[in-house]
Amino acid sequence: MFETTDHVTLRKADERGHADHGWLKSRHSFSFAEYFDPEHVQFGALRVINEDRIAPGTGFGTHGHRDMEIISYVLEGELAHKDSMGNGSVIRPGDVQRMSAGRGVFHSEFNNSKSAPAHFLQIWITPNRLGIEPGYEEHHFAAADKRGRLCLIASEDGRAGSVRIHQDASLYAGLFDGSETAEHVLPAGRRAYLHVARGSVEVNGQALDAGDALLFESAETVRIRAGKEAEVLLFDLA
């Protein structure tokens, strides 16, 4: 069940959708493919957070997207990407990849290793304009950039070295352990979605484990503390 206090909603990891295709094991924070939950279709412009684990040497064959900002965030292993724009790369932990599908793009994603699984988050954000020219960008953020702080990794204006997305949204990533703390102030008219990618952490007094999320519906100060090998993503949304 959901727990709500003062416009903050807790969603536990095991409440997410689940798919097991053998080569792919996925947890869906929002309605996706065969999983549909009318209470969790999207949160503002945030449409998808899929936690995917891909078996060695397997992956997603060539398929199409349009009118979506797609961000890949690798937690473990290596993810090989090729697309119809001519891009081809292998992304690893610390890398953030953004593909603007725009008026249409085809791509494939495969585990680049023949022996180790790949564990990553695929994030979709709806754009503020349809039919744009497809685009691609990637950037590496060292662990030191995220240690004990919220590091901006994606934004509308590409500030501070973040990848640029076509939406009024900012995505932060942080690593927290022991006494490390951070705060993020949400102005009036903003909302936030905090996702724990791994480890455990306390946010605004709420203990969270890997896969858990907190949804902030109004102006609030997001306070992060008491992490245990925690990796956290925070979406600041209009």
Residues in the chain: 238
Average pLDDT over residues 176-186: 98
Supply the pLDDT for residue 219. Answer: 82
pLDDT tens sequence across 199-227: 999 999 999 999 999 999 998 899 999 99
Report the distance separating Cα 113 and Cα 229, nearest Å.
25
SS (H, E, C) the chain: CCEEECCEEEECHHHCEEEECCCEEEEECCCECCECCCCCCCECCEEEEEEEEECCCCEEEEEEECCCEEEEEEEECCEEEEECCCCEEEECCCEEEEEECCCCEEEEEEECCCCCCEEEEEEEECCCCCCCCCEEEEEECCHHHHECCCEEEEECCCHHHCEECCCCEEEEEEEECCCCCEEEECCCCCEEEEEEEEEEEEECCEEEECCCEEEECCCCEEEEEEEEEEEEEEEEEC
Q: Give yes or no for residue 85 having a pLDDT over 70.
A: yes
Burial (CB < 10 A; 0-12, 13-18, 19+), residue 5, is exposed
pLDDT tens sequence across 140-176: 999 999 999 999 999 999 999 999 999 999 999 999 9
Report the distance separating Cα 208 and Cα 210, nearest Å.
7
pLDDT band for position 186 (cuts 50, 70, 90):
very high
Supply the pLDDT for residue 134. Answer: 98
Q: Give yes or no for residue 50 having a pLDDT over 70.
A: yes
Supply the pLDDT for residue 3. Answer: 47
Supply the pLDDT for residue 95. Answer: 97
0.85 exceeded by pTM = yes
Supply the pLDDT for residue 58. Answer: 98
- Determine how many CB atoms are found less than 10 A away from the CB of residue 189: 8
Question: Mean pLDDT score of the chain, rounded to an integer?
Answer: 96
Q: Give yes or no for residue 1 having a pLDDT over 50.
A: no
Supply the pLDDT for residue 6. Answer: 64
Supply the pLDDT for residue 5. Answer: 56
The architecture that CATH gives domain 3-237 is Sandwich (2.60)
pLDDT tens sequence across 90-123: 999 999 999 999 999 999 999 999 999 999 999 9
- Where do the domains of the chain lie? 3-237
Average pLDDT over residues 55-64: 97
Is residue 221 within 8 Å of residue 186, measured between CB atoms? yes
